[in-house]
Amino acid sequence: AQTVTQSQPEMSVQEAETVTLSCTYDTSESNYYLFWYKQPPSRQMILVIRQEAYKQQNATENRFSVNFQKAAKSFSLKISDSQLGDTAMYFCAFMKRPGGSQGNLIFGKGTKLSVKP
């Protein structure tokens, strides 16, 4: 069975600075997807970034980038130029590549990020 671990329950960062959120996972699969979702106080889950395991290049989306280390089963999220609107709960998630599964997500417990002015 797959597991996702986020070892930092809470983090804080000053506005405009950079912060990195950690995520490790355990799987015997070779093909899968990894995601970071954010859940602001509104509780709407928002997709931040997605990584396909067979791609070696790290995904980037504007100020958000990942450091994907497949051998180490590590998938960290870097937020550059942090903004107040980045304050949220961040969840790391794993999805087996469909072809047998229905594509359900396995979530970590989350990291609460506070961006301070």
Partner 1 sequence: GAVVSQHPSWVICKSGTSVKIECRSLDFQATTMFWYRQFPKQSLMLMATSNEGSKATYEQGVEKDKFLINHASLTLSTLTVTSAHPEDSSFYICSAKEIAKNIQYFGAGTRLSVL
Q: Cα 116 to chain center, whole Å?
A: 21
Per DSSP, the three-state class of 20 is strand
User: Which of residues 100 and 117 has its CB atom nearest to partner 1 in the complex?
Assistant: 100
Instruction: Write down the least CB distance from residue 6 to partner 1, Å.
Output: 9
Instruction: Write down the least CB distance from residue 117 to partner 1, Å.
Output: 24
Binding site for partner 1 (CB under 8 A): 33, 35, 37, 42-47, 50, 91, 95, 97-98, 102-105, 107-110
Which residues lie closer than 8 Å to 71 by C-beta, 6 or more apart?
none
* Beta-ladder partners of 103: none
